[in-house]
Amino acid sequence: MKKITALLLVAAMLIGAGTVAAWAEKSDPADGIDYLALVNKLNPLPEGWEEALQTVTITNSVGDAVEVEAKAYDAYLALKEALEANEGIYLELDSARRSVAAQQDIMDRFIEKYGADYAAKTVATPGYSEHHTGLALDLYFKLKGEDGSFTDVYYNEDMVQYPRIWEKIHARLADYGFILRYLEGREHITGYGYEPWHIRYVDSADIAKEITEKDITLEEYLSGMKAPAVTIDLGSSANYTEEALMEAVVQIKCQFATWEGCELHSIRYAGDANCTGENLKWLNGISKDGKYTSVAKFLMDFHAPKEQVGAWEADTEYTDYEWWLARSEDSGWEIVTQGYC
């Protein structure tokens, strides 16, 4: 891993306050990395990436060290300055680059403590996290009080309480070559739920603006095709709120994103009639923990790829594909089983 020197880091901080136009040019291929590289649940970090990457390491307002790709950091500084000057928003970096080795360490610890199944559901597979690139930045912000002091708004559950602040942040991202990476409603494409704090540097304001204006994901931009809209039908439930049901839908969509080449058409709640003690007992019997207290069934329609992939029949429409989810009193929804049960 090549590290930028302390002297260059100071220089980067000084030039980071450049104009918007400084981020409108495309990256130089001689830089050694592809700023449009796609890393997600299906696409690993390109070979040789970590050796070619140039990074800087800074310390944020809560004392954490954050490593980030050098050009992305310059762009972040310019974005940060613009938001402070024009919106009174004070950005900070929560996290950026995480090495493949560090991700493997996290996975190993989770496997040892919670088991392989739980680790696979909660930790990104080493080599398949966008944070490996150094181009994915997780943000937080500080609130300035009347006395001039600052309060860090750092935890996810706190940050989501400020949608207007995120709207102002998102409105300026593209000017500096950033996109909002995980859009709400696109979980079946990106594989992740909506994260207002997770941005991605693409090293071109023109490309970033095109992606933003078309309201598409990086996956759709690179494929040259926008995915069709997905119909979500939550029906009417006396057992669960719409928010609770949507949380389950997001889990399904994130899993669907790993089905290469499949096209999602609809997901619908199968109704309270399936929330029986018998079904709950069945799911608890499947689970190793067996501590679930609630159950929900969903049905999905999707189209298989034109060429056969895995068990799917080529170019075939599948309807009423079942998803069974469960949760305990102190945890969120988990996909317990799926298929034509």
CA dihedral 35, 38, 40, 41 (to 10 degrees): -150
Mean pLDDT of the chain: 89
Spatial CA neighbour of 258 closest among 124, 95, 116, 106: 124
Amino acid at 292: Y
The pTM of the whole model exceeds 0.85:
yes
Instruction: Specify the pLDDT at position 287.
Output: 86
User: pLDDT band at residue 141, thresholds of 50, 70 and 90?
Assistant: very high
Find how far residue 164's CA is from the centre of its chain.
20
CATH entry 3.30.1380.10 includes domain 2-223: yes
- SS3 at position 203: coil
DSSP string, 270-330: --GGG--HHHHHHHHHHSSS----EEEEEEEEEE--SS--TTSPTT-EEEEEEEEEEE-TT
pLDDT tens track for 282-307? 999 998 777 899 999 999 999 999 98
pLDDT tens track for 171-222? 999 999 999 999 999 999 999 999 999 999 999 999 999 999 999 999 999 9
Provide the token pair at 129.
């996290």
Instruction: Specify the pLDDT at position 30.
Output: 47
User: pLDDT band at residue 310, thresholds of 50, 70 and 90?
Assistant: confident
Domain map (residue ranges) of the chain: 2-223, 231-339
DSSP string, 256-271: HTTSTT-EEEEEEE--
Instruction: Specify the pLDDT at position 31.
Output: 55
Of the candidate ranges 108-112, 168-172, 247-251, 288-292, the one whose mean pLDDT is the lowest: 288-292
Residue 28: pLDDT over 70: no
Residue 119: pLDDT over 80: no
Of the candidate ranges 43-47, 173-177, 281-285, 310-314, the one whose mean pLDDT is the lowest: 310-314
Instruction: Specify the pLDDT at position 236.
Output: 96
Find how far residue 333's CA is from the centre of its chain.
18
